[in-house]
Structure 1
Amino acid sequence: MNANTNTNTTVVSRHTTSEGVVIWSRCACGRLQMALVPYGVDGKGLAAGGHDVHCPRCGR
């Protein structure tokens, strides 16, 4: 696992798929989040996961 001190997240898993790279990370508040970083310039990214409104990092 890789900790990112700039965003207070820890990368739990990173793997490639046919669409791009899927990154699972955990916020400092404990919430699990997923992001798809697509290959190429035409692909659209995707993000999913819970957001705690009380967390200054992942609250929206």
Structure 2
Amino acid sequence: MTQKTLKVAVATPLSEALCTLIESLVPEIELLRDQSLLPPMRHPADFAGDPSFKRTPEQEA
């Protein structure tokens, strides 16, 4: 039987250590993340991030 990989996009700030932990605990998933595409947090739990943050057209693509 072929095992399928589920791709999971992380769309909120998440430390690399937590991403690695998730990947090690659930090997059936592939975590997709690029923290540079997310607005910087202004304080802990600021998941909306800096409102002045803008992505370049290349990042948007």
* Normalised TM-score (structure 1): 0.21
Report which structure shows greater RCO (CA 8 Å, sep ≥6). 2
* Normalised TM-score (structure 2): 0.20
